[in-house]
Chains A and B, each alone.
Chain A
Amino acid sequence: MTPGTRLRIADKATVVFCWAAAMGTGMAVLTVMGFLLYRGAGVLGPELFFGQTHWWEALTGARPVFGGLWPALAGTLLLVALSCAMAVPVGIAGGIYLAEYATPRFQGVAGFAVDLMAGIPSIVMGLFGFSMIVVLRHTFAPQAKTCLLLAAVCIALLILPYLVRTTQNALSGLPDHLRLLGPSLGFSTWRNIRHVLLPSAGRGVLGGVILAMGRAAEDTAVILLTGVVAQAFLPRSLWDKFEALPFRIYYLAAEHRTAGELDQAFGTALVLLTLTGLLFCLAFAVQRTMEKRWKV
């Protein structure tokens, strides 16, 4: 074999390998989604969400829903709303501080802590929440049990580092001429942030928030240890146990008794996939307009 042919063969192999890797990945993702659509699309309908209960009575909580995923959907939405209410203000404020005020030294330390937190496995975060309850029980609240509020706190801790990072990156990614605009007009640091930098980076920050919502909606390991149960109906207070979409899928996958329940699981998986997919597309659209604006 001449070196020339060997080179040609190696080149061919490289091309084939790269194409195969990309196509294979695409096929795998399409298979996952196609399979869910194929099995789940048939059960989509009011009965999937509300079982035999009338939708209005279900929505208002007048009657409990048996065999529908409305309580799980409501639990997930509540969880996302609660955890975001806690994490978003802190995360964005922390990100602004890191990008605009912090000394390089503090940036280094905080950066390490934030990266570390981003890497904490969600089950460890759940374990942290669970041990909080154990500690509380042994000290001044013997009644303490795992609940919606605890799960929301743990999820808030889980998404906090993403919020800090995306805010920080969005701000420090702004072009220099924009950064100098405020000071040149005599703005103080905060006024510059408030009136020039934040409005410009806003879409990047917003995109990060939406992605964090998706993360809060999909996580299963945290809530597994902090208060999710298979049958809870709508939570009446923050101290109640609750249902959630990802846990419902996990539970039904292992514990389904009838073919109908399995169909329910496929429907639930399709609903969750649609929910996270929508959030993803929204974040993508938002961030893309920001990139286009500042690219030139």
Chain B
Amino acid sequence: MLSESWIRRALCAAATTCVAAAFCILLVLVYLVLPLFTPGGLGAVFSWQWLPFQGQFGILPMVTGSLLLSLGALTLATPLAVGVSCFVQVLAPRRVKGLCLAMIHYMTSIPTVIYGFVSIFLLVPLMREWFDRGTGFSLLTAMIALTLLILPTIVLVFHATLREVDLTARTTCASLGFSRPSYIRHVLLPLSRRGLLAAVILGFGRAVGDTLISLMLAGNAPMVPGSPLDSIRTLTAHIGLVVATDSQSTFYHSVFASGLILFLIMILINLALRGLGRSYTS
């Protein structure tokens, strides 16, 4: 029979391992980026040209690509998520509500690679025909697919807030004679702004971190796009492409810099969520 204090220590060790792992990953990334911090190195990576065979390793186009893609997907997904959440909480008939929630939960389990794969054969040809420009592998295509990926995250977090607000406000508003749609517009949404903000920040995190959709759909050209129909490359796709295909070690610095930028974005997101109040991941 193990003694009480030993069990306690073992459990504590497990918890410490989790904490240590997070810091370990950060340390390794910082350590690998350190060689960059020379006068020439930093300028070489933080520049606008990615021409590795001419010695130019700028990743700013990828930073732009990542931000454009994530923000674009957010602008599509947020209104959609608000609509779905309000529908589920207020407007839907009971049966439809259950069905809808089950579907949203199910969406979280659809592999990213499936979205990418199906989009290649359904969405890309459509984009090519509709806009009659380029190959169809573009910022816009990836944006649409990414919207589907981050939608359940936003809906689930936002809906949790809506449910809480709804519990306290519904009866009062019903007795005041609010119709259900005006209740949504004038009471429910204003009261759950913080929840929406948290949901959007989490959705942004998922969008920035996604690799497969941008790798498969965005075309991967390392340039700043002039229109939504242009091809882009994200930081995540850049890491995947360089590590998987090239082996020259001079490229690697730009890859680790990309990894570190992504990690720092995640830290910022977590700090922002902390500032909003409670733990939203589970």
Contacts and interface: CB of A to CB of B under 8 A. Distances in A.
Contacts of A161: 18, 281
Contact of A166 (B28, B92, B106, B282): B282
A220 interface: yes
B19 A190 contact: no
Contacts of B117: 249-250, 253, 265, 269
Interface centre among B100, B148, B216, B243 (most CB of A within 10 A): B243
Interface stretch (B165-173, B204-212, B225-233): B204-212
Nearest to B208: A121
Nearest to A13: B181
Given A10-B181, A120-B209, A131 B32 contact: yes
Contacts of B18: 90-91, 94, 110, 113-114, 117, 160-161, 164
B216 A280 contact: no
Interface string B186-218: 000000000000000000010011111001100
Interface string A251-272: 0011000000000010001001
Interface stretch (A14-22, A52-60, A62-70, A175-183): A14-22
Nearest to B266: A119
Interface in A98-144: 98, 101-102, 106, 109-128, 130-132, 134
B21 interface: yes
Contacts, number: 261
B86 A18 contact: yes
B224 interface: no
B240 interface: yes
Contacts of A114: 18-19, 22, 281
Nearest to A21: B83
Specify the main secondary structure of chain B where it touches its partner.
helix
A189 interface: yes
Interface in B107-151: 107-118, 120-122, 148, 151
Q: In which size bucket is the chain B interface? A: 35 or more
Nearest to B249: A134
A97 B12 CA distance: 6
Nearest to B7: A190
A253 B12 CA distance: 45
Contact of B80 (A21, A102, A165, A272): A21
Interface string B149-181: 001000000000000000000000000000101
- Dominant secondary structure of chain A at its interface with chain B: helix
**What 9 pairs between A and B have smallest CB-CB spacing?**
A21-B83, A121-B209, A93-B14, A218-B111, A14-B181, A280-B109, A97-B11, A11-B181, A18-B87
B240 A123 contact: yes
B211 to A, nearest CB: 4
Contact of B148 (A28, A124, A134): A28
B103 interface: yes
Interface string A156-167: 010011001110
Given A113-B18, A113-B22, A265-B117, 8 more contacts: A24-B80, A25-B148, A118-B281, A124-B263, A188-B4, A221-B212, A250-B113, A276-B110
Interface residues on A, range: 35 or more
A36 interface: yes
Nearest to B99: A26
Nearest to B106: A280
Contacts of B42: none
A188 B277 CA distance: 33
Contacts of B100: 22, 26
